[in-house]
Amino acid sequence: MQTVVITDWQQFMALTMQLEGWAFRGQQNEAWRLESSLSRYMRDYVLDRSQWRVREERAIRIFRRKAHNFLAHPDLLKDDLRCLALMQHHGAPTRLLDFTKSPFVAAFFALERATGDAAVFALNTPALWNNRAVPKANPTLTRDMIDPRVQDNFDRYYFSNRHEIVWFGEPTEMDDRLVAQSGTFVVPGVIDKSLQAILDGYESNEELLHKIVLPERIRVDAMKWLYRMNITNASLLPGLDGLARSIAVELEIVWPGLMPSP
């Protein structure tokens, strides 16, 4: 994985312009591993890894049995990817990793609550899309073959936790949050390895993962740029929750000459 520590916000903009078509993920601590919320939760609270598969299956089963009480269209729970996307949207640990096609959205989520050096990870989705990167252990597992939107593919390639593969994409129907964030999901085939470790097992002539470290000192300038671009929680998280969360940034973004007299 290529790692770059940028010196200023302009360098970030110039660097990401070279990554046309890639997907991005922001993390507020540059030391954090690139892994799903489910992987982190299991590692911290379920020490017996032989239990991970059955625990994940049970969690999804419980969600499906109860979530219909709150949904206008409960049929969407039958689709594995849409069900996991819904769980992720509402805070449940899942194997999905949130990515975005916008490096600026990723930078916002990295920096918004950062108190030290943050990071944006960039994934070479064009190489994965065109099968220029395939798993060494089984190069026949192309992107189309492992598509989790295909019936039974989640059971075959993901819930079994036997295939060290990566797929990216969106459900056939996207919710408002995914649209607002230019979002996409990365779906790992195993949950006991980081995304970087899985990609290390891929055959490719291209770099598949970049890590861009955002030093703490650039945060103020970067957040002002993002505010000017209307990248805030109010725009990225449609609804009252997003608006309320966006007020935190309003506390710190103040333009000279616009503050009322005491």
pLDDT at 74: 86
- Measured CA to CA, the distance from residue 223 to residue 166 in angstroms comes to 32
pLDDT at 257: 54
- Measured CA to CA, the distance from residue 120 to residue 118 in angstroms comes to 7
Q: Cα torsion at 26, 30, 32, 34 (round to 10°)?
A: 50
pLDDT at 76: 82
Q: Is 218 helix (H, G, I), strand (E, B) or coil?
A: helix
Return mean pLDDT, the chain. 92
- pLDDT category, 249, cuts 50, 70, 90? confident
pLDDT at 73: 83
- Give the lowest-confidence range in 91-95, 124-128, 253-257: 253-257
From the list 97, 85, 95, the residue with the least C-alpha distance to 39 is 95
| Contact status, residue 149 vs residue 171, Cβ threshold 8 Å | yes
pLDDT at 146: 96
Token reading at 88 = 């992720």
The per-residue pLDDT for range 26-55, each reduced to its tens digit, is: 999 999 999 999 999 999 999 999 999 999
pLDDT at 261: 52
Tell me the pTM.
0.92
pLDDT at 24: 98
- Measured CA to CA, the distance from residue 206 to residue 127 in angstroms comes to 8
Domain boundaries defined on the chain? 2-215
What would the mean pLDDT of 198-203 be, rounded to a whole number?
A: 96
pLDDT above 90: percentage of residues in the chain: 80
- Measured CA to CA, the distance from residue 211 to residue 199 in angstroms comes to 14
pLDDT at 259: 52
- Give the lowest-confidence range in 65-69, 155-159, 253-257: 253-257
The per-residue pLDDT for range 174-200, each reduced to its tens digit, is: 888 889 889 999 999 999 999 999 999
- Name 5's Cβ contacts closer than 8 Å, sequence gap at least 6: 213, 215
Q: Is the pLDDT of residue 255 over 70?
A: no
Would residue 179 be called left, alpha or beta, if left means φ above 0 and alpha means ψ between -120 and 50 degrees?
A: alpha
Q: Is the pLDDT of residue 8 over 90?
A: yes
pLDDT at 231: 94
